[in-house]
Each structure stands twice: as structure tokens, then as C-alpha cells.
Amino acid sequence: MTLPEKPEPSVLDYLKGRLFPRKNPVIQIPDVELPPSEEIAPVIKPESRVQKSRGHNFIWLLIIILLTLLAGQKLLEPPYPIISLALIIWGGAAGLVILNWLRGNFETNLYTCKDEDGEGQVIRPWFLTVSLCVGIAATILFTRNRFTPINLSLWAVSILCLILAFIPGLKWNRIRRDIHRILEGISRTDFRIHLSPWSIVWVLSLALVLFFHFYRLEQVPLEMISDHAEKLLDVNDVLGGKYSIFFIRNTGREAFQMYLSAAVALFFKTGISFTTLKIGTTMMGIFMAVYMYFLGKEVGNKWVGLFAFLLSGISYWPNVISRIGLRFILYPAFLAPALYHFFKGIRRKSYLDLMLAGIFVGIGLQGYSPYRVVPVLLVIGLVLYLVHFKQTQRQVFAGNALFIIGLAALILFLPLLRYMLDQPEMFSYRTLTRIGSIEQPLPGPAWQIFLSNLWRAIVMPFYKNGSIWVHSVPNRPALDVVGGALFFLGLLVCFLRYKEQKDWRIPFMMFSIPFLMLPSIVSLAFPEENPCLNRTAGAMVPIFLITAMGLDTLLHNIRIQFSGIKSSLITALVGVIILSLSAVQNFNLVFDAYNANYIFESRNTSQVGQVIRDFVEIYGDPDSAYVVGYPHWVDTRLVGINAGYPTKDYALWPEKFDSTLANPNAKLFIINQKDTDSLMKLRQMYPDYFETRFRGWLEAKDFVVFLVPPAVGSRLESTVK
């Protein structure tokens, strides 16, 4: 009897065996070897839409977009901005970008935030406890608004223990090997330097930034204003041994610039001078630009970092507030490193970077009062992080990050914290005079003033940066034509990137711009002071970061239209042209427009001081020179500083002329050219005189030099003979 052949198992039998193996046999599918002649054809990936566009001359559309953006910003330049036409042109440019992005022709998804697991993070509770305890002791001893050797030593120990609490273990063997290798390289006689193309680009970029910061530093700006007198008198106090925590002149100032300027005066031998202030703040401007590179590299790539470094290093806005020699640059200078370590610490789950972010926050709080919004901004950043990542593990990490940043900032803030507790009115007086009606009543409803200030601040990069001549070219955009166009493109790119990536850093950067402008926006009692380049200075960090992203995205889309060496050459050519146009306009803005307007508006105290200095060199008596007081003229304290006598005020009002009669020495009177009454009175008092008109920087700056020779028989009369 022949058994029937077992039928071949079906697909249903296979599924029954897999789903119910206890009731049905499991069907095994044997491996099948293909004959040698049968090969699997390779999978051909479809060509991307960007690649297809190469044959459609998409490069010309990119050039049109760039030119359209530049034309729109150019129409907003003074003296006759055409707002409606600029908006129409920009609307067309934005439409082209969005349309081509939707078609896949314009790439924006270039940067990703790849979180790391943060393994090996260190917290040493013992050092942390010591840091807190010693910090409390230092705070108790920060009394009477003075730094002393004891409280400074305790504060330094607290900071050191804070760092040791989070710094990873050092690999000493590796450090020794690295040092040994470096020393061997230095001792070699055939020492060579190998520069890559990237290194050459970096060196040239650094040279350009240094040029923009130090070129004609002594002449631009030329004269000091009353705020400089306050600063230099504080610096003189420091050099004289008075080590204040908070400097109370002129409604109060934080301490960082005073000690920085004192160090500059000692190291560079520049004394109590405008140059001393300028060197310190210009160095901080370069410090900010360098950290802009690291920040750009962290949120983008090395090219975003390079463009952020260049744009923040050559642009008119940061250069002017660096050169003016006041505290303004400290706002962005300490914000850039704080944001860099904040972003890096969150991405890498690095407690060390979070601690460094807190340290820079604490230092910044002792630099310039608008920086007080930064701690709140970082808290908002952590909230945005949690909104995008709702896992319990991320929530725990965000809590740890808040604790570490807050603790580090608090320890660095301890001296000023003690002063704030002792003198809360003085600490907050300057801010309250702008927010409230302490000095003058609000000119209208607070909410209306706030909304008006908010709008004017937001459009400041494109439209008008305010009317304060000390640190701006009045009523022009805060950015140059290229910068404004690229910033607008960068905002579009960030919006489109967020649609693709949901990167939490994008809404944070965009939100931070108006938030960092709040110190200017909340000037409700003095709305004419808003916008201004100094109190909004922190906003330049995200602004130049987004601008750099706009430039990098544009150049990337140009590069992918070509292949080989042609791609690199064309991209480099376009990039050099764009940056050159920006450099030329920014150079003219700083060294031509700003400089000329500053000379026109300022008082020529340096020339008055030089006349007194020459008088003292001849007659040897600094106490026999006088500047006759006149309304809205020179600050006579600045005259003393320029003459080389920083603590001397040379003011003499006409009603005090009689007090000079008892002085038998040669006397010098400096008189405003419009003060004919004082001049006539001096002619009557001293019939034997020499009088001349001193030519100022401008005709309106001329002044009268009135010299009375020494009396016969006086000590100075015999000296002159």
C-alpha cells in the first residue's frame, strides 16, 4: 500500500505554528541558495530633490534671494527709510525661501543636538559642603562694603572647593606625557609649523577682529563724558587702597570694571586715563567674540562658530560698546560663555559645564546691572528643555542642573549679595528709577509704554537703535545691511529647522532676544532711552548666532549645487564677498559716522586738559589754573583727569574770581567762547594779560585762553625769567 504524499505546508500552517506552537508543528523555512548567475540588483536610491535642482540653475534663485534680502535691509537705512517697500521685498524673499524649502530645494536641517549619556559625572559632597560653609562665613565678613584679605581668602576657598566638587579626576600620567611631548617639540631644532587651510582661515579671521578692536583705539572715540569721570575716580580709589564691593558714585556701579581697569593701569602703565578704560573693555569684547566661536560650534558647526566670531568681532554694535570704555560690553561678554556651558552641559549631561555656566552667571552679575535677567533666562531654558523631553530621567537631570547653576552663581555673587542685603535701596535704585516714578512720573499708562518699548526694541536690529550718541550712530539699524539681511534669513532658517527637528534650543534662542532686551524695554519712566545699544547688549549674542546660522545655511545651499573643487571655490568666493561688504560698511560706521558724530556731540576736555598740562610744565603750579564754569559745557573733573590730576576739579565760577587775587603766581583761565561776561570781568580784574582763542576739534569747540603773568617778585616770576 502506497501512502499519499504529504502536501506542502501552506502559509496558514506556518502562521499557526508561529502563533500557537503547542497545538501546531512549527514550520521551518529552509535557506535557499541562489544560483551563481542570479545576483540581487543593487538598490538605487532616488536622487534628492536638491540634487535634481542642480540642473535647473537653482544657484541663481539663491543669489536672487540674497540680493532681495540685502535690498530690503538697504531700504531701511537712514536718512530716508522706505518701510513699506522693504516689507514687500522681504515678504517676497521669505516666500521664495519657504516655497523652495517645501519643495525640498532649500536645506535647513543642518545641525542636530545629539545628547550624550553623561557617564562619569562627578559630585564630591564633602567639597560641596565645605564650599557652602566657607561661603557663608565669607558672606558674614563682607561687611561695610569692603573687600578685606580675610573675606577675600574665604571667598576664594569657597570657589576653589566648588570647582573641586565637580571637576573630573585628572589623569596625571596622561598630563605628564603631553607636557613631555610638548617640551620635546619645543627643544627640536627642526621645529616646523604645519598650517591647514582651516588654521589659515582662523588666523586671518582673528587678525581682522583684532584690527577692528584696536585700530585707532586712542582716537575713536576721542573724548570722555561724565560717566568716565565717575569710573576713573572709582579706579583711583581702588589704586589708593579703597576696595569697595559696590561703588556708590552716580547711583551705584558693580565692581568688575573698576578692578579690571585698575589691573590694566598697573600692567600697561596707562594710569588714570581714558585709554585704561578702553583697553579693559576692548579686551572683554575680544573675549566675547572668542566665546561666540565656541557657542556657534556648540549649537551648529565650526563654520557657524567662525561666522559668529567674525560677525560679532567686526560689527558696529559690539565694537562701539567695547570702545566707549564703559561697562556695557560686560553684559554679552559674560552671557556668551554662560550660554555655551549651559548648552554644552545639558547636551553632554556635564556637571562641570553646568558649574562653569553658573560661575559666569555669578561674575556677570558683578559686571553690569542688565545682566540680572540672565538667571531667569536660564530657568526658562530649563523649562523649555522639560517641555521637549518629558521623561522622568530628564526631569531629574533638569533639577540637578538648576541646583548646580544656581549654587555656583550664588557663590560667585556672595559679596554683592551681602551688599544687597545691607543696602537694598542703593542696590536697586538705578533700576527702580527707570521702571517706576522715583525720578519722574510715567508719561502714560505703563502697559502702553511697555508694548511700545517692546516693539521698538524688537525691530532695533533692522530699523532704529535709538538716539543716544555716546554709544551709537543715532537712528540707524543696530546691524549693517549684510548683518540685517542675514539675521532675517537666520530667523527663517530657525523657524524651518524647528518644524523639522523640534530642537529646544531654537525657541530658546529666539525667545531670548526680546527677553535680554528687557532692561531697556522696562524703561517706562524714560521711554526715550529705549531702544539703546547698551542695555540691550546681551541680545547681540543670540542675534549674531542666528545671523551666523543664516550665512552658513545660505553658503551650504550654494555649495551643494556644484561638485568637486568648483563647489568649494564658488562657496568661498560668495562668502568672502558677503563678509567683505559687511566689513567695509562696519568700518565706515565706526571710524567715520560714529566718530564724526561723537566729536560733534562731545566736549573737548582733552584739549582743555592739554592746555593746563602745558601751563604746569612752564609755570609748575597746577593750582593756579582754572576753568570758568558755564552751563552745559565741559565736565571740569575730566579736565583734571586729562591734565594728569585725577582728583582735582578745575571749576571756578565767576562769583569766585576775587579769590584768585591773593595768588601772586601766574594764572590760567579757560573760558567758554560764548561767556563774554566772564571774559570782560577778568579783563577788568587783570589789565596785564595775554588772551588767545584756542582752536578746538570743530569751530563750535573753540575756547578762550586767558593768561595772567606772575606778579613781580613772585617765585614763579623769577622761575620764568
Amino acid letter for position 118: G
The predicted model gives 397-423 an average pLDDT of 96
The predicted model gives 449-468 an average pLDDT of 96
245 in the same domain as 221 = yes
The predicted model gives 643-652 an average pLDDT of 96
Instruction: Look at residue 10 in the predicted model and tell me its pLDDT.
Output: 57
Instruction: Look at residue 390 in the predicted model and tell me its pLDDT.
Output: 81
In a domain, 47, yes or no: no
644 in the same domain as 589 = no
Tell whether the model's pLDDT for residue 108 goes beyond 60.
yes
- The answer to whether 409 touches 373, Cβ cutoff 8 Å, is no
685 in the same domain as 578 = no
In a domain, 42, yes or no: no
Instruction: Look at residue 579 in the predicted model and tell me its pLDDT.
Output: 97
* Across 191-205, 521-535, 541-555, 653-667, least confident range: 191-205
SS3 335: helix
- The answer to whether 509 touches 565, Cβ cutoff 8 Å, is no
Model confidence pLDDT, tens digit, residues 273-284: 999 999 999 999
The predicted model gives 686-704 an average pLDDT of 95
Q: Which of 102, 117, 139 is the C-terminal boundary of a domain?
A: 102
689 in the same domain as 546 = no
What confidence tier does 49 reach under pLDDT thresholds 50, 70, 90? very low
507 in the same domain as 398 = yes
- The answer to whether 373 touches 344, Cβ cutoff 8 Å, is no
The predicted model gives 289-306 an average pLDDT of 97
Instruction: Look at residue 626 in the predicted model and tell me its pLDDT.
Output: 98
- The answer to whether 353 touches 582, Cβ cutoff 8 Å, is no
Instruction: Look at residue 4 in the predicted model and tell me its pLDDT.
Output: 46
Tell whether the model's pLDDT for residue 172 goes beyond 70.
no
590 in the same domain as 614 = no
* Across 7-21, 466-480, 559-573, least confident range: 7-21
Tell whether the model's pLDDT for residue 47 goes beyond 50.
no
Rounded Cα–Cα distance for residues 275 and 236 (Å) = 14
In a domain, 1, yes or no: no
Which cell numbers hold the place of 269? Answer: 602703565
CA separation, residue 196 to residues 203, 207, 345 (Å): 11, 17, 30
Q: Which of 580, 600, 620 is the C-terminal boundary of a domain?
A: 600
Instruction: Look at residue 44 in the predicted model and tell me its pLDDT.
Output: 39
The predicted model gives 145-156 an average pLDDT of 97
What confidence tier does 28 reach under pLDDT thresholds 50, 70, 90? low
In a domain, 110, yes or no: no
Predicted TM-score of the model (pTM): 0.90
Instruction: Look at residue 310 in the predicted model and tell me its pLDDT.
Output: 98
What confidence tier does 619 reach under pLDDT thresholds 50, 70, 90? very high
Tell whether the model's pLDDT for residue 34 goes beyond 60.
no
In a domain, 313, yes or no: yes
Task: Provide the sign of the torsion angle of the four alpha carbons 656, 657, 661, 663, taken in this order.
Answer: positive
Q: Which domain holds residue 561?
A: 196-600
Most confident of 68-72, 119-123, 425-429: 68-72
In a domain, 437, yes or no: yes
Instruction: Look at residue 721 in the predicted model and tell me its pLDDT.
Output: 40
Share of the chain above pLDDT 70, in %: 88
Helix residue ranges, H only, 620-692: 636-643, 676-685
Instruction: Look at residue 19 in the predicted model and tell me its pLDDT.
Output: 46
Mean pLDDT, all residues of the chain: 90
554 in the same domain as 620 = no
In a domain, 167, yes or no: no
| Count of the separate structural domains present in the chain | 3
95 in the same domain as 69 = yes
Which cell numbers hold the place of 693? Answer: 582763542
In a domain, 433, yes or no: yes
What confidence tier does 192 reach under pLDDT thresholds 50, 70, 90? low
Tell me the DSSP string of 53-92: GGGGTHHHHHHHHHHHHHHHHHTT-SSS--HHHHHHHHHH
Share of the chain above pLDDT 90, in %: 79
Helix residue ranges, H only, 269-329: 274-299, 302-314, 316-323
Which cell numbers hold the place of 535? Answer: 542695555
The predicted model gives 253-271 an average pLDDT of 97
What confidence tier does 115 reach under pLDDT thresholds 50, 70, 90? confident
Pairwise pLDDT comparison (390 vs 282), residue with the higher score: 282
Instruction: Look at residue 114 in the predicted model and tell me its pLDDT.
Output: 78
The predicted model gives 108-113 an average pLDDT of 86
The predicted model gives 171-189 an average pLDDT of 71
What confidence tier does 326 reach under pLDDT thresholds 50, 70, 90? very high
392 in the same domain as 267 = yes
Q: Which of 119, 120, 113, 123 is nearest to 403 (CA)?
A: 123
Pairwise pLDDT comparison (11 vs 270), residue with the higher score: 270
Instruction: Look at residue 406 in the predicted model and tell me its pLDDT.
Output: 97
What confidence tier does 41 reach under pLDDT thresholds 50, 70, 90? very low
Sequence-ordered list of residues with C-beta below 8 angstroms from that of 466, at least 6 positions apart, any chain: 460, 472, 474, 475, 529, 530, 531, 532, 533
What confidence tier does 23 reach under pLDDT thresholds 50, 70, 90? low
The predicted model gives 49-63 an average pLDDT of 64
The predicted model gives 67-80 an average pLDDT of 96
The predicted model gives 582-592 an average pLDDT of 98
411 in the same domain as 264 = yes
431 in the same domain as 531 = yes
Q: Which of 600, 631, 666 is the C-terminal boundary of a domain?
A: 600
Please provide residue 672's backbone torsions phi and psi, each rounded to the nearest 5 degrees: -60, 140
Instruction: Look at residue 87 in the predicted model and tell me its pLDDT.
Output: 96
CA separation, residue 680 to residues 309, 664, 666, 685 (Å): 58, 21, 19, 9
Tell whether the model's pLDDT for residue 15 goes beyond 60.
no
517 in the same domain as 646 = no
Instruction: Look at residue 7 in the predicted model and tell me its pLDDT.
Output: 56
Query: Strand 253-254 and strand 690-694: pairing?
Result: unpaired
Instruction: Look at residue 39 in the predicted model and tell me its pLDDT.
Output: 39
